[in-house]
Chain A
Amino acid sequence: MLATVIATTRFGSVEVPAGDLIHFPEGLVGLPGNEYGLIGAERGPFTWLQSLTEPEIALPLTDPRRFFPNFTLDISESEGHRLSLEPGETTEIFVTVRATAVATDCTANLRAPILVRGPAGSGPRSAHQVLNQAPGAALRVPLFSGALI
């Protein structure tokens, strides 16, 4: 599969397979650019969402269900309509992680998950940062709180 080589400040020059390229039509709030790539998904609990155009922009992501077994994503009807989400559509859900020097202080943003459309590796895929209406889906939930969301 064709790979895109991108420059990053954290990881040097990295090859991103086409299946891991992510297009955000509306971008990410507060961050530049619409084109990102997933790096390191196979290496453990965290994946990096790396900007293809801004070498210094990368966000750690994780699968919320890995840390919050009861995690649910509840998207408002108007947002679901805006994104034309189909019932049963295949998506991957990630949340951003606010990393700290000590692992136990890391928090996850369950309030604004990232919805990547299509099955893993089928990219380039489109993605949206959505607003989670589920009760308890807060902005900074400690990753290791064992919180039952």
Chain B
Amino acid sequence: MLRIKRHTGERIVIGDEVVVEVLEVRGNTVRLGIDAPRSVPVYREEIWLEIKRENEAAAQAAELPPLAAELDPASAPAPGARLPG
């Protein structure tokens, strides 16, 4: 991992379009400002990991269990969700 020492108000440029600025340092908390293009979503790592884990788990479903009509809050045209019929 690249290690860089920066002072408050100094920046790091990643590629041509991502700029990270150290806005404030207080105790063990660092406030960062991030400028990135619209196509680059920026996440806190723990949230990114949560979404990743949930997406991967959702993608592992072999099939959906049959959904009894009484469980479906809406009046579904079909009781199950197996595809294609």
Residue ranges of A at the interface with B (Cβ–Cβ < 8 Å): 10-12, 14, 25-26, 28-31, 39-40, 42-46, 48, 57-60, 66-67, 69, 82-84, 96-104, 106, 109, 111-112, 129, 131, 139-140, 144
Contacts and interface: CB of A to CB of B under 8 A. Distances in A.
A103 B53 contact: no
Interface residues of B, number: 38
30 contacts: A10-B63, A26-B41, A29-B48, A29-B51, A31-B59, A40-B81, A40-B84, A44-B67, A44-B76, A44-B78, A44-B79, A44-B81, A45-B81, A46-B64, A46-B81, A60-B61, A60-B81, A66-B72, A84-B38, A97-B58, A97-B64, A98-B54, A98-B61, A109-B51, A111-B54, A112-B50, A112-B51, A112-B54, A131-B43, A131-B47
A38 to B, nearest CB: 11
A30 B55 contact: yes
A29 B17 CA distance: 21
